[in-house]
Amino acid sequence: MEAQLGRKLSPKVNPYIFGVGIVVIFMGLILGAQLFGFWSASGRLTPSGAPVQLTGSDPADIKGWMKLEDISASYKIPLADILTAFKLPAETPGSMELKDLEGQGENFSVTTLRNWVAQKLGKSLPVATPGSSPGDTVKSRNANKTPGA
């Protein structure tokens, strides 16, 4: 005699309710982690929760939420030099965030400012090669040049 497989008893859940439930749980985890201080995506805090401080040693630390006066003070570059280099209006306040200046003046962006500051300090910024991910080894600008070229 053939053994009959009994029907397993499992609750039937509407697929739409199941999908909404998954999204609610997912968002609840994120919001809960933010509420208790375990999740921060602003880039303004270190992993320990302390505010990010510019040291003036690495131009790669420059972020869009930073102010012109922060960059000027940390890297010891006069604000007037920054405004002149990017042809920004002379009346631009130092309290203006870099992200708010994007597209103004001559080719101003956070990336071009980082490169300009690195050049002023005589440093080279690491550049990711095409096809690499942020976790891969980063090569400098001169690493791809062939000798004698």
Beta bridge partners, 98, equal none
Indicate whether 23 belongs to any domain: yes
Please name the residue ranges forming H helices in 4-106.
15-35, 68-75, 79-85
The reply to whether 48 falls in a domain is no
To which residue do tokens 């602003």 refer? 42
Check whether residue 77 and residue 117 sit in a common domain. yes
- Distance between CA atoms of residues 32 and 105, nearest Å: 42
Residue 92 lies in domain: 59-121
Same domain, 67 and 32: no
pLDDT in tens, 6-36: 667 677 888 899 999 999 999 999 999 888 8
Residue 4 belongs to a domain: no
- Residue 49 forms beta bridges with which residues? none
pTM strictly above 0.85: no
Evaluate whether residue 54 is within a structural domain.
no
Over residues 120-143, mean pLDDT? 52
* 5 is a domain residue: no
Q: Does residue 37 sit in the same domain as residue 64? A: no
Domain match, 81 and 34 both:
no
> Are 67 and 99 found together in one domain?
yes
Domain count, the chain: 2
110-121 and 68-75 helices, crossing angle to 10°? 10
